[in-house]
Every structure is written in structure tokens, then in C-alpha cells.
Amino acid sequence: MAHQETIDSTERIEALIRTIRDAEQELQSLTGGQLDAVVSGTGEAYLLHEAQDRLVQSREAERAISLTQRAILDALPAHLALVDAEGVVRVVNAAWKAFGEANQSQDPGHGVGTSYLAVSRDAAGLGAESAAEVASGLEAVLRGEIASFALEYPCDSPTERRWFRVMITPVRDERIRGAVVMHLDVTEKRASETALQASEQALRESRTLQLLAERMGRIGGWRIELPRYTVTWSDQVCAIHGVPAGTTPTTSQALQMYDPAQHDMIREVFTECAEYGVPFDIEVQVIDGNEHRWARAIGQAQRNDMGEIVALEGALQDISEQKRLEQQFLRAQRMESVGTLAGGIAHDLNNVLTPILMSTEMLRMTDTDDERLELVDGIEQAAKRGADMVRQVLTFARGTEGKRVHVQLPALIHEVQKIARETFPRNIVIRTEISGNIPPVLGDSTQLHQVFVNLCVNARDAMPLGGTITIRVSEVLLDAQYAGMSTEVIPGSYVLAEIADTGLGMSPRVLERIFEPFFTTKEQGKGTGLGLSTSVAIVKSHGGFMRASSEQDVGSWFRVYLPAAAVTDMQLDERRVSTVPRGNGELILVVDDEAAVRGITQHTLETFGYQVLTASDGAEGVAVFAAHRDNIKLVLTDMMMPVMDGGALIEVIQRMDASARIIAASGIPDHGNAIRVPQSRVREFLPKPYTAETLLSTVRLVLDS
């Protein structure tokens, strides 16, 4: 209904303008032609009277029509004027008149009969830039160049600034006869929009500050009034200390919230600041129950007009995350150093173990006394155990991959149980439960050994007063339904090893994070936080997965699932009875800086039909090879040697004789990858320590290739 009334009002306004315009045009035509004739005595007087009558009738019609139209125009809150095709104001409404009176307009007609275009241009000349735009907009509407025009502009008074929106629309029938110019006060609307924009901007800034605060860590202010040492903490400072907002502790109560080892340092810096005005910037450790947080405390003295210290003020920032990242970085650097050190130690230890293993094999081949052979077996087992320990160190420190073989998990678990019983406190009982015939798993026995040792050590640490560790091994079948609940599970047969303890247990919050690298609940220096994360990585690399559950004051359970190996793929670990391959008098050059390794290698090769030349480093090896290059059939060289290492020796020999057969050996498994490149002519790689059988088989393989 309101929309229809607006349409009717517009039509009436247009009809009004047409009536006024037609009457004025007819009057002007009479005055210009026939009226002149009357005045000169040549026209007829009745024509003038007729024109006057028509003008009177037109004005009466205008008055009759305007009774309704005027009521509509005056009811509109906007300042509204009707202009003709030349931009002259013909009609204004009550709001237009009221605005002029409020602004002390001296025009009794309120602009009626005045050119709106001229007034706008005059205002533009006085510096009102928006008036020039309005004039241009009105002209464009009257010429039919644009359908309408709108503009928001400011209107300043001595006391305030208000905003208006001018809207100009044409009045037309078959042609444009004028326009409606409407000014609407939009000050409140604009103020609302400005307030909304300011609110949105404040919200964005608040979110930005919140995000910044989260990234920087929680930070808050504190103040201590002197001389009574009255403490005031902001809500953020209370949160850092783990106390309710609004807490106002005494200085002694506040001190107890920090690490006791830092109490003397905290007292000293606060005393110096309170007595001498010395500012401070320190890191403190906040103790909140079982949780420790690191915080940065900054403080300075506040003085009165007399220069006396009346208060201490400062800020406290939670830097726990920053400290955690720093510790991770330092641990990573330490692990890198350990890895480098482990590589060097492994090389030296393997050089020690190699002659032991080769000697025991030689003794077994040449001795028939059962008592002496039993001693040889003991020496061999000890040397092999030492070699396994070296590989375990390399696996942990450098991530070295071991050889994947079929592993009988019950045997490995019994070995772990034996180690635990010998090393754990006597108040910890260790039990094993093996059910049925357990299939083997395909994996690296050293890495799996590390997994179960880590889990048993964690169980031991969870029982400071003693308890029971139970290790269960069984075969389970995981179907498609179980696998559908986890993306890391493939349906099939698994060997399940469960390690359970009766220790302190873990809270759900701790349980969620136990597999994170560097996360630990142990005291500083008693744990790296890498045990469980390393174990999970090893289990996943074997195609398995791990699950954990715990209940506080009851205990924890860790379940390791490893894919069972197919029976058809089993490689039974039985002592082979075979003939060790022998040589046919071939000349072999052995290059190694370890005299024991050179000696036992030379003895083994000569015992089985080879001739041997030796050298103690790469430079000597080059000289020997150059002197006997036509007769040497194979070169066996260590990779790590002084003066000239194995890599340089291999390169020189290849240049001297591109067809030379070379076997590389090293106590660091990574060297095996280094020499297996397309440019290298190295035929095989022997990881130290190696047995006599492995040496002889490899030498024969390369010579016969």
C-alpha cells in the first residue's frame, strides 16, 4: 500500500509540473505575439482576456491539485524540491522550508523561482566541492545522460557536522520536463556505519592482539607497593601461576610458587631493585602442582617526585613453549653429536670384534677338543653380542637400518627379560607369558630389542617402590572390521607383545602426548623424551602399530602389534653344514690400518689357499698395487684409514686398472651406501665385524664374477 501511494504521489507531482508548464508557455506565446498586436492597436483585446482567463484557470487547477499533492510533499521527511527542465526550482516541501529557516535563510520564497544550478555553482565557487558534483549530476539527469544521480556530502555548521544524501531523478512523459531533487539527512545512519566499522576494526585488532599474545606466550603486569610490599597481579599473571584471577599473595607466598633453587636469586634481584632501583630481566621456573612453567620476569623501580622508590612494576611472560623448543633444539644437536661419536666408536669397536670373530671360526675349523670348542663358542657369542650392541647404538643415534630377517619374538623377549632381571631393582618382578606356537616376524632383531628394552625401562621408572612387569606374547587375527577403525592397520595375522606394569599410571592428559618427540614427565636429566617416539617409529617401519592405555594408581599397558611372517617365507636359523670355498693361489691385497684385522684376514685367506699382500694405509696400498698390478686379482680395503682413506685408494686403483676387482669393508654401515654408486667399480661391501665364512664366500664370489 505504501509503495502504491508513493507511485500515485509521483504521478500527481508530474501532472502538476505539466499543468504549470503548459500554462506558462501559452501565456508567453500570447504575450510575445498577439499581446504586442493589441498594445499597438492592431490586435484584438479579447485575445488578452482569453489568455488571462486560461492562466487564472491554470492556477486554480494548480491550487486544486496541490491540496493532495502538497500534503504528500509536506509529509515527506526529506528536503524535496521540484525543478523544471532548466533547473529552476518550482515547488519545495515543508522540510525544505524548515531546513532553510533553521539555517537562517533570508529567502522568503525558500528558493522557489531560483535556478538550483546557479546556486550550486555559486556554492562550488566558495569551496563546496560536493556542490559542483551535484550541479553536474543535475545537468546530466536533465539531458537524459544518466538515469539518476546520488551523492553523500557533509554540511558543516559552527557546532557540528551533518551528512546528507542528495538524490536526483527525472520527471518525464514523452520527454524530460524536470527533476525531483531530494536531500535526506543521513547523519545518524552514517554515525551508525562508522561505529560499526570501528567496532569491526576493534574486533579485528582484538583478535590480532589475541593471536599475537598467544604466539608470544601469555603476558601480564604486576606491581609491588612499598614499603609494605603489597602485591598486585593481573589476571594473566595469576593464570601463569595457576591461581584464580584476582589473587593478591604476599611476597613470601609468591616466592613459594617458584623453584626453590631460584629463591636466593629472586630475593637478590628484587632487593636490589627496591633499594637501589636496579632493573632486572630474569627467567624463573613457576611450580604449579606437578606442572612446571618457565616465565620471563621484567621489573623496574617507580619513584615519586622526591626521587624515592615507592613501587616496583613489571611484566611476566610465559615462555614455556619457547624453552621447550630450545630444549628440543639442544637435544637434537646433542643427538647429532652422539651420532657422530657413535660412528667413530662403532668403527673402532668393529675393528676390535672382527679379528675375534674370525679367530673363533678358525679355531673351530682346526680344533676338535670339545672343551676348547665350548670356550670358543662363548667367545664367539660374546663378540656377536658386542657387534649387536654396536648396531643398536648406531640405530638409535643415526637411524641406521639393519638387515631384516625372521625373528622369533619369544626368544627375543626372553633375552630382554634376562637383561631386565640382571639390571632392574630386586623389588621389581618380571614375568613372561608365551601362548602357543608364535609365528616369526620379519624385522631387525636389534631394533626390536631396543623397542622392548625401552618399554621395560619405562615400566621400571613408573614403579619407584617396586611392582610387577608382565610381558605377554600371543598371535592375534585382526579382521577387516578392526582394520576399518584405523588407517594404519591392515587385516591379517599379527604377533602381539604386551608389556604391563603395576605402577603409578598416567592421566589422560599425559597419555595423549606420550608418543610426542621430546615429551617426558621425568625430571631434568633423567629422560630425553625420545624412548617412546623412537619405539613407535621402529614399530611402524616394521609394518606394525602400537597402542597404549593407563589408569592412575593402577598401571599402564603397551601393546605392540607386528605382522606375522608367512610360514612359506621362513628362513630357519640352523647351522649350515657346507664346504667353505677355497682359493686357487690368487694374489689378494689387504689394506687396513688395524694390525689385528690385517693379521687375521691374511691368516684366514692363506689358510684357504690364497696368497696375500698387506698394506697399513691407502698410500702404502697404492705403492704395493703399482708394484704387483699384473698379479693382484683382488683388493680388500678398509674405508677409514689415516694418510689416504679407502675412497681415495679405490679412485687411484681404478685409474691405474679399470678392471680391478675391489671389496670395501668398514665398521660404519653408511659406507656401504657411499660406495654403491654408478661410478664405483667396487663389487661388494663387507660390514665389520665379519666372519671368516662371510669373508671367504665374498672373496670367492667376486673372483668368480
| Phi then psi dihedrals of residue 391, to 5 deg | -65, -35
pLDDT digits (tens, 9 = 90+) for 413-433: 888 888 888 888 889 999 999
Alpha helices per DSSP H over 526-591: 531-541
pLDDT > 90 in the chain, percent: 21
- pLDDT at residue 37, rounded to an integer: 42
| Residue 678 within any structural domain of the chain | yes
Give the H/E segment covering residue 481: helix 480-483
> Given pLDDT bands bounded at 50, 70 and 90, which one contains residue 176?
confident
Question: 585 versus 385: which is more confidently predicted?
Answer: 585
Q: Which of 15, 181, 204, 196 is nearest to 93 (CA)?
A: 181
- Locate the DSSP E strands across 121-251: 149-156, 161-172, 176-185, 219-225, 230-233
Q: How far apart are CA 317 and CA 212, in angstroms?
A: 13
Scored b (16 or more CB within 10 A) or e, 349-382 reads bbbbbbbbbbbbbbbeeeeeeeeeeeebeeebee
Average of per-residue pLDDT across 25-51: 46
Pairing of strands 441-443, 428-434: unpaired
pLDDT digits (tens, 9 = 90+) for 485-536: 566 778 888 999 999 999 888 888 777 777 776 666 655 544 545 667 778 8
pLDDT digits (tens, 9 = 90+) for 355-379: 887 787 777 777 677 777 777 777 7
pTM of the full structure: 0.37
- pLDDT at residue 92, rounded to an integer: 87
Pairing of strands 632-638, 662-666: parallel
Average of per-residue pLDDT across 247-261: 91
Average of per-residue pLDDT across 144-153: 89
Question: 514 versus 19: which is more confidently predicted?
Answer: 514
| Residue 376 within any structural domain of the chain | yes
| Residue 96 within any structural domain of the chain | yes
Domain count, the chain: 4
| Residue 390 within any structural domain of the chain | no
Q: Are residues 616 and 679 located together in one domain of the fold?
A: yes
Q: Are residues 597 and 654 located together in one domain of the fold?
A: yes
Which of 569, 598, 617 is the last residue before a domain boundary?
Answer: 569
- pLDDT at residue 61, rounded to an integer: 44
Instruction: Give the number of residues written for the chain.
Output: 705
Answer for the pair 692, 358: CB distance below 8 angstroms, yes or no.
yes
Q: Are residues 250 and 295 located together in one domain of the fold?
A: yes
Answer for the pair 347, 671: CB distance below 8 angstroms, yes or no.
no
449's grid cell: 630389542
Answer for the pair 636, 663: CB distance below 8 angstroms, yes or no.
yes
138's grid cell: 543535475
Alpha helices per DSSP H over 542-663: 595-607, 618-627, 646-656
| Residue 68 within any structural domain of the chain | yes
- pLDDT at residue 206, rounded to an integer: 54
Q: Are residues 155 and 11 located together in one domain of the fold?
A: yes
Query: Residue 4: is its pLDDT beyond 80?
Result: no
**Full residue range of the structural domain in which residue 260 is found:** 217-318
Q: How far apart are CA 651 and CA 681, in angstroms?
A: 9
Question: 369 versus 210: which is more confidently predicted?
Answer: 369
Segment of 363-377, 435-449, 598-612 carrying the highest mean pLDDT: 598-612
| Residue 117 within any structural domain of the chain | yes
Q: Are residues 408 and 464 located together in one domain of the fold?
A: yes
Q: Label residue 625 left, alpha or beta by phi (over 0 means left) and psi (-120 to 50 means alpha).
A: alpha
Residue located via cell numbers 600371543: 474
Q: Are residues 373 and 501 located together in one domain of the fold?
A: no
pLDDT digits (tens, 9 = 90+) for 653-684: 988 998 899 999 887 665 555 555 445 668 88
Alpha helices per DSSP H over 542-686: 595-607, 618-627, 646-656, 670-674
Q: How far apart are CA 507 and CA 502, in angstroms?
A: 15
Q: Are residues 368 and 421 located together in one domain of the fold?
A: no
Answer for the pair 489, 545: CB distance below 8 angstroms, yes or no.
yes
Q: Are residues 541 and 620 located together in one domain of the fold?
A: no
Which of 160, 183, 209 is the last residue before a domain boundary?
Answer: 160
> Given pLDDT bands bounded at 50, 70 and 90, which one contains residue 560?
very high
CATH number reported for the structural domain that contains residue 445 in this entry: 3.30.565.10
DSSP codes, 354-384:
HHHHHHHHHHHHH---HHHHHHHHHHHHHHH
> Given pLDDT bands bounded at 50, 70 and 90, which one contains residue 93?
confident
| Residue 90 within any structural domain of the chain | yes
| Phi then psi dihedrals of residue 100, to 5 deg | -65, -40
Q: Are residues 337 and 353 located together in one domain of the fold?
A: yes
- pLDDT at residue 421, rounded to an integer: 86
Q: How far apart are CA 113 and CA 618, in angstroms?
A: 114
| Residue 628 within any structural domain of the chain | yes
Q: Are residues 431 and 563 located together in one domain of the fold?
A: yes
322's grid cell: 619457547
Question: 102 versus 452: which is more confidently predicted?
Answer: 452
Query: Residue 28: is its pLDDT beyond 80?
Result: no
- pLDDT at residue 587, rounded to an integer: 95
Residue located via cell numbers 665389520: 688
Question: 370 versus 615: which is more confidently predicted?
Answer: 615
> Given pLDDT bands bounded at 50, 70 and 90, which one contains residue 33?
very low
CATH number reported for the structural domain that contains residue 672 in this entry: 3.40.50.2300
| C-alpha of 249 from chain center | 38
Q: Are residues 416 and 287 located together in one domain of the fold?
A: no
Answer for the pair 414, 453: CB distance below 8 angstroms, yes or no.
no
Q: Are residues 619 and 699 located together in one domain of the fold?
A: yes
Cβ count within 10 A of residue 116: 22
Identity of residue 24: E
- pLDDT at residue 384, rounded to an integer: 73
Which of 142, 160, 178 is the last residue before a domain boundary?
Answer: 160
